[in-house]
Amino acid sequence: MSIKSINSSQAESLIKNNKDLVILDVRRPNEFKESRIVNSINIPVEEIEWEIDELEKYKDKPILVYCKVGVRSSVACAFLEEEGFTNLYNLRGGILDFNGEIE
């Protein structure tokens, strides 16, 4: 399986130790504006199908996917896996459980 479910501290060390990491926020734009993990890009889960070309360039990179509590990010990860992405990390508990840096 190419999706790893990780907790906040695992996500923090992934962010710290992996300069190639892509951080994907799949919440709605208004949620993204309020707060987000530093350096994340926003593609709402409802639009990910149509924005897949945007993500193609990251296919070989590790991608940390998160939402508010972890449900939408699971859906997004499953979709990306079907599209051939192989290095996916789902942030369990979403941004609500994340203790790292938020902007």
Catalogue the active-site residues: 67
Question: How far apart (Å, rounded) are the C-alpha atoms in residues 62 and 3?
Answer: 10
Question: How far apart (Å, rounded) are the C-alpha atoms in residues 87 and 97?
Answer: 22
Question: How far apart (Å, rounded) are the C-alpha atoms in residues 1 and 8?
Answer: 21
